[in-house]
Structure 1
Amino acid sequence: MITFPNAKINIGLGITEKRTDGFHNIASCFYPVNWCDMLEMIPSKKLIFQSTGIDIPGNPDGNLCLKAYHLLNEKYDIPPVHMHLHKIIPIGAGLGGGSADGAFAIKMLNDMNSLDLSIKEMEDFSAQMGSDCPFFIENKPVYVTGRGELFDHLDLSLEGKQIVLVNPNIHISTKEAYSGVVPQALTYALKERLLSDISSWKGVVNNDFENSLLDRYPIIKKIKNQLYEQGALYASMTGSGSTIFGIFDEEIDLSNYTEFMVWSGKLD
């Protein structure tokens, strides 16, 4: 079985409160994007995980695909599989690629073993791997609160719009990103604004991480400005960076970004 775990973007990201557990409360929209990894699983006599493509830092035993297997195996005693992850989505780039890999592994193992898990049950397993993971079970636009695990339906469609994602090959750690943020309540109704015309988002629907990171990394600010100069309806950094995206009515010339990792395609 082969699937294609996809990335997501944040449209708006407010850091609204520092929690007593050390995490932060946020307000954001998660929207799926078709920049994808590839994940294959086949039956095996023993559990095997291997990866190709972009090098994944850290111990492979900590990969979320393996964690997904162990979570389900602990409850359902499922047979071993050979997993092959071909990594394409940039790592530590605000795109949720690792979270998607783990969530898609849950869905694959559910199908392969006929576990008949409900959406809610798969989301609960995914939540044990990370705050972003449950989003990728249904993989639909949602309004997100809490520490990123509370989802409200959001009737937002950008179907047919062209998106350009530019990753400037800068790794920004979560610790670094949060060090420049002062949590504060939103001064506008983000959910309602997202349901208005996209032309009203610029300068209003903001990513709070940009306040410090765009000055610290001028190339990120330059990319954002270039996307607007090329006619973006809206442009923003996604997550805690460093990827910048622009949403357009039609395809654009990408020759300005040849030194970076770039993906462009239609939104669903």
Structure 2
Amino acid sequence: MIIFPCAKINLGLNVVERRPDGYHNLQTVFFPVPICDALEIKTMDEHFPSAVACDLKVTGNAVECNEADNLIVKAYNMIAADFDIPRVHAHLYKNIPSQAGLGGGSSDAAFMIRLLDQRFRINIGNAAMESYAARLGADCPFFISAEPAYAEGIGEILSPVNITDHNLKGHTLVVVKPDVAVSTKEAFSHIKPCQPEVCCRDVVAMPVEEWKSLLKNDFEDSVFSFHPQLKEIKERLYAFGATYAQMSGSGSSLFGIFNSKVDKEEAEKAFADCRTFVIDF
């Protein structure tokens, strides 16, 4: 059985306060985008000599962690601890760029929970799957439904937000991933938590033309100070005609929203030094 974990972008990302536990409370809008991995599982024969219950093979983009630390394996072990499911072979084809602010690892974990639930008819239910996913990462619960959502807390408190039919239909999204890795430590190093003038949930209900002055990613100032080439890419997106441009998450991907169709070849040429994805809404 196969499933296709999707990526996400953040439409606005505000760090509003530091928590007593050392984490930060956020406000953001998660928006799913069809940049996808492929994840397949097959039941392992009972006689197959495997030392692990979830035997993972990764192809496509390199993943910089060992098998036991991969969130797909952790998701399997977590579900297997509570439900009687067989051992599996898992194959992940990695297409979503890593360390990009696109949520690829979190998506793989959440979709593994969904895949196990479907394949072995566990019937966990979305709310319980979101609870399991939250144990693996703050943005993992979003990928259980993978629908646009307003997120609070550390990213795990979700509520619906409906924006596509109002103001993104007919637009084109260009996602640009340079060969830059951004660490979480770097991203938080210069952050000064504060409440935004207008909540991102309210901004995304407005026409895209109004977003530039109101919708912010608070990580940009910090990350751009370490990686000025990311700021330059954002400026290039605007020069290329974007109505709105922003870094996603803590980077290093950036995206531009265009109010008309973008030619894929022209976009790839304009950002030839990066991986470029063109998506029509």
TM bracket (short chain): over 0.9
CA distance in 2: counterparts of 1:189 and 1:131, whole angstroms: 20
CA distance in 2: counterparts of 1:132 and 1:178, whole angstroms: 17
How big is each residue's C-alpha offset from its partner over 1:105-141, in whole Å with a ceiling of 9 and x where there is no partner?
Answer: 0000001111112110111111111111010011100
Match of 1:16 in 2: 16
**Alpha-carbon deviation of 1:96?**
0.1
Task: Give the conservation status (yes or no) of the 8 Å contact 2:219–2:250.
Answer: yes
Match of 1:206 in 2: 216
Q: Which moved more, 1:38-47 or 1:104-113?
A: 38-47
TM-score, normalising length: structure 1: 0.96
Task: Give the conservation status (yes or no) of the 8 Å contact 2:211–2:244.
Answer: yes
CA distance in 2: counterparts of 1:232 and 1:176, whole angstroms: 27
TM-score, normalising length: structure 2: 0.92
CA distance in 1: counterparts of 2:254 and 2:31, whole angstroms: 14
Matched, 1:265 2:275: no
3-state SS of paired residue (1:69) = helix
**Alpha-carbon deviation of 1:266?**
2.1
Match of 1:238 in 2: 248
How big is each residue's C-alpha offset from its partner over 1:125-183, in whole Å with a ceiling of 9 and x where there is no partner?
Answer: 11111111010011100111101001111111124421111111110010110002111
Q: What amino acid is aligned across from residue 240 of structure 2 in structure 1?
A: Q
Task: Give the conservation status (yes or no) of the 8 Å contact 2:5–2:108.
Answer: yes
CA distance in 2: counterparts of 1:133 and 1:36, whole angstroms: 15
3-state SS of paired residue (2:203) = helix
Match of 2:38 in 1: 38
3-state SS of paired residue (2:175) = strand
CA distance in 1: counterparts of 2:135 and 2:72, whole angstroms: 12
**Alpha-carbon deviation of 1:192?**
1.4
3-state SS of paired residue (1:20) = coil
Matches within 5 A, 1:41-190: 41-45=41-45, 46=50, 47-157=54-164, 158-190=168-200
3-state SS of paired residue (1:41) = strand
Q: Which moved more, 1:158-167 or 1:55-64?
A: 158-167
3-state SS of paired residue (2:31) = strand
Q: Which 5+ residue runs of structure 2 have no aligned equivalent?
A: none
Q: Which 5+ residue runs of structure 1 have no aligned equivalent?
A: none
**Alpha-carbon deviation of 1:58?**
2.0
3-state SS of paired residue (1:143) = strand
3-state SS of paired residue (2:114) = helix
Q: What amino acid is aligned across from residue 201 of structure 1 in structure 2?
A: W
CA distance in 1: counterparts of 2:163 and 2:5, whole angstroms: 21
Match of 1:195 in 2: 205
1:251 to 262, 266, 280: 262
Q: Which moved more, 1:197-206 or 1:214-223?
A: 214-223
Identity across matched positions, percent: 40
Task: Give the conservation status (yes or no) of the 8 Å contact 2:186–2:222.
Answer: no
